[in-house]
């Protein structure tokens, strides 16, 4: 944990999300410092001990006993999250060579590199649960594990890069900030790091849209078109409505998940409305209006049938994304082999020298 | 056969005057690449002035199962802490 070395917390005002990340980080340290009851009285008490740690908002660490289902749920969730970061490099990578200026290009390159980094932090967190990197890669390439359905939509214009940063990364942050408080230590720590970096992503996207929305009428129309296409898929990122969500209850009890899909979706909508106003763009929802009673916006739900279709493999880009990932992995094989051969040769030379 | 790309643990010194702190892990075929990968993965935002990489297989860890017995010897030595001692009223600089 050394995320605390990033800049000053004055940044925390930006939507309050960074502030929440800082708070989660402080809570993590504070919980670690709190004295908890000794150790499990006996082996029989392992489950009780696990429950007590979770109850006390302390962290479960890799070598602690944990229920098998907890381990499996975490592997599935963290792996899916890691795969999403890796596949998520593609829609934006699509625009690196066509970014409108050198500055935008350098920024986008750094952002896509960050996504790779996030994937690697998460793969490492999943590996602490006893699954190997090779297995994880195979699970993705064989289509046995999923990635976020949002990355199966195409990036048709430069404005889409802005919309991804603002909406997709924005939705991801709303989803992920509570994960900074997840009961599994390595996941929580990876999420704190990721969330801090994501906030740069969200702002760069917002800035792209802001520039376009205050440019020529054609540029503004392009920004509006991107918002029109990305709004509902972004809402769908929070998953099916609470009534239909299969994993939620148990994950809440284990403190892997802290808020329901619908709660997070609402939070996201409430944040976006004012941000869209400042952009001067219109959220494509005629049903969007402030509800004074609920102190929240009423909004139109995304098309969950479409979400299910995309998850099942029938989105606009599913096949293209997977084909690209498989090709990239296969094309990189010679690099991995060469590096391993070189390392082997060097190790052998060293041994000879020692022997001589 | 040995793993062609084993796991390395990464430690970063954030600033001069601070100790190296564990920041995460990564895979690399050898130490040199592990160091370069660590730079790209864990110090993209100037988070460090020095990096250590250690093969994860070279780390010997105490086991959580024996935590009790292992750390027990420290439990009954309260006299190691300054708060154990009664300081008479009026003593300065102690």
Q: Is residue A114 part of a domain?
A: yes
Tokens (6 digits) for B51? 């990096």
B56 → chain A, closest CA residue: A128
- Is residue A200 packed enough to be buried (19+ CB in 10 Å), middle (13-18) or exposed (0-12)? middle
Q: What is the pLDDT of residue A36?
A: 54
Q: Is residue B30 part of a domain?
A: yes
A203-215 average pLDDT score: 96
User: Is B30 within 8 Å of A339 when comparing Cβ atoms?
Assistant: yes
Q: Is residue A73 part of a domain?
A: yes
B15 → chain A, closest CA residue: A5
Q: Measured between CB atoms, which of A120, A133, A343 is closest to B29? A: A343
Number of domains in chain A: 1
| Structure confidence at residue A67 as a pLDDT band (50, 70, 90) | very high
Q: Is the pLDDT of residue A1 over 50?
A: no
B15-45 as b/e: b if 16+ CB within 10 A = eeeeeeeebbbbbbbbeebbeebbeebbbee
Helix (H) or strand (E) holding A276: helix A261-279
Q: pLDDT (tens digit, 0 to 9) for every residue of chain B, 94 residues total?
A: 468 899 999 999 999 999 999 999 999 999 999 999 999 999 999 899 999 999 999 999 887 666 667 888 777 888 888 888 998 998 888 8
- The distance of B47 to chain A (nearest Cα, Å) reads 7
Q: Is the pLDDT of residue A92 over 70?
A: yes
**Pick from A4-18, A156-170, A249-263: least confident:** A4-18
Q: Is residue B70 part of a domain?
A: no
In the A/B pair of chains, how many CB contacts fall below 8 A? 61
B13 → chain A, closest CA residue: A2
- The distance of A130 to chain B (nearest Cα, Å) reads 13
User: Is B44 within 8 Å of A113 when comparing Cβ atoms?
Assistant: yes
Q: Is residue B26 part of a domain?
A: yes
Q: What is the pLDDT of residue A43?
A: 63
User: Is A133 within 8 Å of B27 when comparing Cβ atoms?
Assistant: yes
Q: Which residues of A touch B63 (CB under 8 A)?
A: 63
User: By residue range, what is the domain housing residue B11?
Assistant: 7-62
Q: Measured between CB atoms, which of B24, B45, B63 is closest to A124? A: B24
B12 → chain A, closest CA residue: A2
| Structure confidence at residue A14 as a pLDDT band (50, 70, 90) | very low
Find the CATH number of the domain harbouring B51. 3.10.20.520
- For residue A267, how many C-alpha atoms fall within 13 Å in the half-sphere facing its CB? 19
Q: Is the pLDDT of residue A22 over 60?
A: yes
Q: Is residue A289 part of a domain?
A: yes
Q: What is the pLDDT of residue A3?
A: 36
| Structure confidence at residue A5 as a pLDDT band (50, 70, 90) | very low
Q: Is residue B11 part of a domain?
A: yes
Q: What is the pLDDT of residue A32?
A: 75
**Pick from A44-58, A141-155, B17-31: least confident:** A44-58
Q: Is residue A57 part of a domain?
A: yes
User: Is B63 within 8 Å of A63 when comparing Cβ atoms?
Assistant: yes
Q: What is the pLDDT of residue A38?
A: 54
Q: Is residue A250 part of a domain?
A: yes
Cα gap A53→B37, rounded to integer Å: 35
Q: Is the pLDDT of residue A247 over 90?
A: no
Question: Looking at residue A36, what DSSP letter applies?
Answer: -
Residue carrying structure tokens 């959220």: A283
| Structure confidence at residue A332 as a pLDDT band (50, 70, 90) | very high
Per-residue pLDDT tens over the stretch A215-232: 999 999 999 999 999 999
User: Is A39 within 8 Å of B67 when comparing Cβ atoms?
Assistant: yes
Q: Is the pLDDT of residue A339 over 90?
A: yes
Q: Is residue A26 part of a domain?
A: yes
Residue A38 CB partners (closer than 8 Å, separation 6+): B68
| Average pLDDT along chain A | 90
Q: What is the pLDDT of residue A267?
A: 96
User: Is B24 within 8 Å of A190 when comparing Cβ atoms?
Assistant: yes
Q: What is the pLDDT of residue B67?
A: 65
Q: What is the pLDDT of residue A141?
A: 96
Cα gap A199→A169, rounded to integer Å: 8
Which of A58, A65, A120, A185 to probe by mutation at the B interface, max B CB count within 10 Å? Answer: A120
Q: What is the pLDDT of residue A277?
A: 97
| Strand, coil or helix: A4 | helix
Number of domains in chain B: 1
User: Is B21 within 8 Å of A1 when comparing Cβ atoms?
Assistant: yes
B66 → chain A, closest CA residue: A39
C-beta separation of A83 from A140 below 8 A:
yes
Q: What is the pLDDT of residue A35?
A: 57
Q: Is the pLDDT of residue A97 over 60?
A: yes
Q: Which residues of B touch A39 (CB under 8 A)?
A: 67-68
Q: Is residue B15 part of a domain?
A: yes
User: Is B23 within 8 Å of A2 when comparing Cβ atoms?
Assistant: yes
User: Is A340 within 8 Å of B4 when comparing Cβ atoms?
Assistant: yes
Query: What region does A291 belong to: left with phi over 0, alpha with psi -120 to 50, or beta?
Result: beta
| Structure confidence at residue A8 as a pLDDT band (50, 70, 90) | very low
User: By residue range, what is the domain housing residue A212?
Assistant: 17-35+44-315
Q: Is residue B72 part of a domain?
A: no
C-beta separation of B11 from B43 below 8 A:
no
Q: Is the pLDDT of residue A40 over 80?
A: no
Q: What is the pLDDT of residue A265?
A: 97
Q: Is residue B58 part of a domain?
A: yes
B9 → chain A, closest CA residue: A124
Q: Measured between CB atoms, which of B5, B12, B40 is closest to A2? A: B12
Find the CATH number of the domain harbouring A143. 1.20.1260.10
Q: Is the pLDDT of residue A41 over 90?
A: no
Distances (CA, A) of B49 to B14, B18, B21, B45: 6, 10, 12, 11
| Structure confidence at residue A10 as a pLDDT band (50, 70, 90) | very low
Q: Is residue A345 part of a domain?
A: no
Q: Is residue B33 part of a domain?
A: yes
- The distance of A82 to chain B (nearest Cα, Å) reads 14
**Pick from A27-41, A89-103, A324-338: least confident:** A27-41
Q: Measured between CB atoms, which of B5, B33, B41 is closest to A120? A: B41
A236-251 average pLDDT score: 86
Tokens (6 digits) for A189? 């720590």
Q: Is residue A331 part of a domain?
A: no
A60 → chain B, closest CA residue: B64
> Crossing angle of helices A102-127/A133-141, nearest 10°?
120
């Amino acid at each position: 944990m050394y995320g605390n070395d990033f800049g000053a917390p004055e940044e925390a005002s930006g939507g309050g999300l960074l502030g929440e990340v800082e708070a989660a980080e402080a809570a993590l340290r504070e919980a670690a410092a709190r004295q908890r009851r000794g150790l499990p009285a006996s082996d029989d008490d392992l489950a009780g001990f696990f429950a007590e740690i979770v109850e006390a908002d302390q962290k479960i660490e890799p070598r602690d006993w944990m229920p098998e289902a907890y381990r499996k749920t975490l592997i599935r969730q963290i792996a899916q999250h890691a795969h999403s970061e890796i596949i998520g490099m593609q829609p934006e990578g699509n625009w690196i060579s066509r970014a409108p200026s050198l500055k935008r290009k350098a920024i986008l390159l750094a952002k896509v590199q960050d996504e790779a980094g996030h994937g690697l932090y998460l793969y490492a967190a999943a590996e602490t649960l006893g699954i190997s990197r090779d297995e994880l890669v195979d699970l993705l390439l064989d289509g046995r594990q999923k990635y976020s359905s949002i990355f199966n939509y195409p990036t048709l214009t430069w404005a889409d890069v802005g919309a991804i940063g603002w909406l997709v990364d924005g939705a991801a942050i709303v989803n992920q900030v509570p994960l900074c408080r997840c009961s599994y230590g390595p996941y929580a720590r990876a999420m704190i790091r990721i969330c801090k970096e994501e906030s740069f992503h969200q702002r760069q996207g917002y800035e792209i849209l802001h520039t376009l929305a205050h440019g020529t009428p054609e540029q503004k129309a392009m920004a509006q078109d991107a918002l029109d296409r990305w709004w509902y898929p972004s809402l769908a990122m929070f998953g099916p409505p609470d009534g239909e969500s299969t994993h939620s209850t148990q994950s809440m009890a284990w403190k892997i998940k802290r808020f329901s899909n619908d709660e997070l979706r609402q939070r996201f909508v409430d944040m976006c409305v004012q941000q869209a106003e400042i952009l001067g763009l219109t959220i494509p929802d005629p049903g969007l209006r402030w509800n004074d009673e609920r102190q929240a916006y009423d909004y139109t739900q995304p098309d969950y049938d479409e979400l299910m279709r995309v998850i099942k493999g029938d989105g606009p880009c599913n096949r293209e994304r997977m084909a690209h990932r498989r090709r990239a992995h296969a094309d990189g094989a010679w690099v991995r082999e060469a590096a391993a051969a070189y390392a082997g040769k060097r190790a052998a030379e060293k041994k000879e020298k020692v022997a001589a | 056969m040995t793993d062609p790309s084993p796991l390395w643990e990464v430690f970063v010194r954030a600033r001069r005057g601070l100790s190296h702190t564990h920041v995460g892990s990564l895979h690399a075929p050898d130490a040199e690449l592990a160091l370069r990968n660590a730079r790209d993965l864990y110090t993209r935002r100037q988070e460090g002035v020095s990096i250590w990489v250690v093969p994860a297989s070279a780390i010997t860890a105490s086991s959580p199962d024996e935590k009790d017995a292992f750390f027990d010897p420290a439990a009954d030595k309260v006299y190691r802490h300054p708060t154990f001692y009664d300081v008479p009223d009026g003593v300065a600089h102690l």
